[in-house]
Amino acid sequence: MPWVGSPPSCIVRHAVLNVTRLRSISQHCGTSMMLTAGRNQIGLTERQIEYCLEAWAVLCADNPLELDTSEARQHSSRTRFNEEQNKVFLGSDALPGEGVYATSRMSTLACLAHELAHAERFQLGYRRSTDLPDVLLNEAETSLRASFTSVLRMKDREDLVEDARDRLIQWLAVRQQQGGTNEKS
């Protein structure tokens, strides 16, 4: 059942534990690891890259945007939008992984729709923080935008909305850990 106001304390406690674990991982492996935890890390095959290129063409139909595959064969490479180069890099994490979170199980098409949404938002002039905790808001907003992509199956849309929800709960937990709701911070 949805809640009104602040999320229940059990959800916030769970999110605080996840954020603490994510911070530990990100300090050890770099911040980017936080967003890819649980996704595929094995370099992509030619066949998988071809599939991603076909999916990208369907997603971009009227708005051609480069999908750079130069890193896709590398272990632990990241699928990401690069603002400076205005292109999306295909990484090994374009494929789903074994995790239980929406981010982990999200389909390749949903993952690419998420990155396309980053690019579209950038083209519209959105500039969001890439630092914790606000990167979580940026990612949540991007997943919500991507969930409206017309070619996605309902399961993909649900996973993107669930991903947004998870990131919002994490953002609330981080804010609570940082001392709450000071209007200036």
Q: What is the pLDDT of residues 137-174, one digit of tens each?
A: 999 999 999 999 999 999 999 999 999 999 999 999 99
Is 135 within a domain? yes
Distance CA 159, CA 26 (A): 23
Which tokens is 166 given? Answer: 């998870």
* AA letter at 7: P
Which residue from 16, 24, 36, 23 is spatially nearest to 163, judged by alpha carbons? 36
The SS3 call for residue 87 is: strand
Which tens digit of pLDDT belongs to each residue from 80-93? 999 999 999 999 99
Distance CA 109, CA 136 (A): 21
Is 173 within a domain? yes
Q: Which residues contact 89 (CB under 8 A, 6 or more apart)?
A: 67, 68, 70, 71, 77, 78, 79, 80, 81, 82
Is 183 within a domain? no
The SS3 call for residue 80 is: strand
Q: Which domain holds residue 18?
A: 9-177
Is 182 within a domain? no
Q: Averaged in consecutive runs of 10 residues, what is the pLDDT profile of the chain (185 residues)?
A: 48 45 38 60 98 97 92 98 96 95 96 98 92 95 98 98 97 90 58
Q: Using CB atoms within 10 A of its CB, is residue 77 exposed (0-12), middle (13-18) or buried (19+)?
A: buried
Tell me if 183 sits within 8 A of 126, measured CB to CB.
no
Is 50 within a domain? yes
Stated pTM of the model? 0.79
Considering all CA atoms of the chain, what is the largest pairwise distance in Å, rounded to the nearest integer? Answer: 51
Q: Which residues contact 71 (CB under 8 A, 6 or more apart)?
A: 77, 78, 89, 90, 91
Ramachandran region of residue 174, left (φ > 0), alpha (ψ -120 to 50) or beta? alpha
Is 113 within a domain? yes
Helices and strands in the chain: count of H runs, count of E runs:
7, 3
The SS3 call for residue 99 is: coil
What total of structural domains would you count in the chain?
A: 1
Is 3 within a domain? no
